[in-house]
Amino acid sequence: MALNQATAHELSARLQQGEITARQLVEAALDRIGAIDGQINAFISVDPAGALTHADCIDQRRAAGAALGPLAGIPLALKDVLCVRGGRTTCGSKILEHFIAPYDATAVERLRTADAVFIGKTNLDEFAMGSSCENSYFGPTLNPCDPERVPGGSSGGSAAAVAADETILALGSDTGGSVRQPASYCGVVGLKPTYGRVSRYGLIAYASSLDQIGPVTKDVEDAALLLQAIAGHDPRDSTSSTAPVPDYRAALQGDIRGLKVGLAREHFPAALDSEVAAAAQDAANALVDAGAERVDVELPVAGHPEYCISTYYIIAMAEASANLARYDGVKYGYRAEGSTDLQELYLQTRSEGFGTEVKRRIMLGAYALSAGYYDAYYRKAQQVRTLIRQDFARAFASCDVLLSPVAPTTAFRLGEQLDDPLQMYLNDIYTASVNLAGIPAISVPFAHSDLPIGVQLLAPTLEEARLLRTAHVLERAAA
């Protein structure tokens, strides 16, 4: 097996034993990028010189007997919404095409401490708004399993890069499913931690009450390793949790005997794609075979698309309209030429700098927040959000984890849903409610028809260890 096809935990062991060097590993990843990225467009930028220099430095430190971090020498790709000091951070947008981040995101800083090697920034739907990775100013990313299909979104570049063995590890961000859905479409693992588990400092904001950074990896053990490196309190993010970070890798050792796995009736409507439904049911049976107990639960609000999709999109767009107000052509980013007054400068810059979907969302978000409509839309959505939270709390009173599909279908064709925003939004029916409730969830590859099919596991707040342990069992059952 080529080096770039292995997992981080396997490679770490080989690096420590001196069987391979960080330079060889980084070269293998860069070669693969050189060979395939022209076809799948998973990266917006690649940093061969920086990555190789860093790899050499790690090899030298290892040779000198220095203590190294847990991800020493492992190639890692970052979704291009994460700030890396001195590097370009575009958010997949023309408006930030030439933006150079002046500081590191906390997750990035922690990965530096872990001695991971950054190899590049991955493609995404502009400002993480989308479910197909087609809304990027830098062109769409294609699914490495089938280049006529989308990789999912918005972290489609991260998922495609891991699936195509262009990198060993990647980070994505998940506001309504953006780590989990592309992971499912590309056949890799995607974890959305509890809101507040990973600092959002230096993650360029889409919807601040929903955004969370998460690992995209080849297996569950790597997801545990990567979460370990980035989790924990950060005084620079006031929403970051002060709860101690457990040993996630150690948590993989336990079994799941007696674990109660809940399935919600609402998650399996008659119209659901039969392969997707069968994968989730088979996964539930596999957990039962491993000693878990299956229970039926109800999610009367969170399980209904008309409540959770409407609520999610009103809140996400409202927050986006506020967060994206800062791109005005004055302080940084793209500036339209030829304006004669400030108002016109704002107007032209934003008209030219943002893509269609971003503009649609800013307008809808501003509308939902405007006087006269605030009560009917934004306030109502906040009330339904509370009901969604309560739904999950009630479900978790009778089960330890929930199991559901990740998305209603497998990867769809490029262009298929681009003209129908509502259809595109409906991709998020299983994932967006999780962000509204702030709980953790993971997408694990479980079945394969012509395309990969993931299943989703959900756990109560801060129960990532339980989630990873259950996912680990599922992964072995799938193998």
Could you give the residue numbers annotated as active site?
79, 154, 178
Contacts of 451 (CB under 8 A, 6+ apart): 143, 145, 146, 149, 185, 410, 411
Tokens matching residue 458: 């959900």
Q: Which of 55/316 has CB closer to ligand GLN?
A: 316
Q: Which stretch binds ligand GLN (CB under 6 A): 173-181, 243-251, 335-343, 447-455?
A: 173-181
Q: Is 128 in the site for ligand GLN (CB under 6 A)?
A: yes
Nearer to ligand GLN, 23 or 192 (CB): 192
Instruction: Report helix, strand or coil for 194.
Output: coil
Q: Of 98, 234, 212, 238, nearest to 155 (Cα)?
A: 212
Site for ligand GLN in 203-222 (CB under 6 A): 206
* Radius of gyration of the chain from its Cα atoms, rounded to whole angstroms: 21
For residue 176, state whether it binds ligand GLN (rule: CB under 6 A): yes
Q: What is the 3-state secondary structure (H, E, C) of 321-380?
A: HHHHHHCCCCCCCCCCCCCCCHHHHHHHHHHHHCCHHHHHHHHHHHHHHCCCCCHHHHHH
| 310-329 binders of ligand GLN (CB under 6 A) | 316
In whole angstroms, how close is the CB of 135 to ligand GLN at the nearest point? 9
- Total residues at interface with ligand GLN (CB under 6 A): 13
For the chain, the straight-line distance linking the first and the last C-alpha, in angstroms and rounded, comes to 17
State yes or no: residue 234 binds ligand GLN (CB under 6 A): no
HSE of 253 in the Cβ direction (CA atoms, 13 Å)? Answer: 3
* Region from 168-176, 217-225, 237-245, 299-307 binding ligand GLN, contact rule CB under 6 A: 168-176
User: Of the ranges 71-79, 124-132, 288-296, 448-456, which one interacts with ligand GLN (CB under 6 A)?
Assistant: 124-132
Among positions 130, 303, 329, 333, the unique one binding ligand GLN when judged by CB under 6 A: 130
- Tell the smallest beta-carbon distance from residue 468 to ligand GLN (Å): 21
The answer to whether residue 175 forms part of the interface with ligand GLN (CB under 6 A) is yes
- 199 in helix, strand or coil? coil
> Residues 399 to 438: which contact ligand GLN by CB under 6 A?
428
Crossing angle of helices 8-16 and 22-40, rounded to 10°: 150
CA-CA distance, 179 to 374, in Å (whole number)?
A: 30
Compare residues 74 and 78 and give the one whose CB is closer to ligand GLN.
78
Of all residues in the shown chain, the one whose CB is closest to ligand GLN is 178
Provide the minimum distance between the beta carbon of 407 and ligand GLN in the complex, in angstroms, as a whole number: 10
3-state secondary structure of 106: helix
Nearer to ligand GLN, 199 or 349 (CB): 199
Q: Which of 4, 93, 136, 154 binds ligand GLN (CB under 6 A)?
A: 154
75 touching ligand GLN, by CB under 6 A: no
Measured distance CA(376)–CA(287) in Å, rounded: 43
177 belongs to the binding site for ligand GLN (CB under 6 A)? yes
Nearest Cα neighbor of 165 from 119, 204, 113, 211 is: 119
Task: Enumerate the β-bridge partners of residue 46.
Answer: 120
Which region among 52-60, 125-133, 272-280, 289-297 touches ligand GLN (by CB under 6 A)? 125-133
Tell me which of 136, 143, 178, 217 binds ligand GLN, using CB under 6 A: 178
Nearer to ligand GLN, 251 or 426 (CB): 426
DSSP state of 131: S
- Residue closer to ligand GLN, measured from CB, 4 or 131: 131
Taking alpha carbons only, the member of 8, 178, 160 closest to residue 76 is 8
Q: Minimum distance from CB of 175 to ligand GLN (Å)?
A: 4
- Distance, CA of 437 to CA of 179 (rounded, Å): 16
Q: Which residues bind ligand GLN (CB under 6 A)?
A: 128-131, 154, 174-178, 206, 316, 428
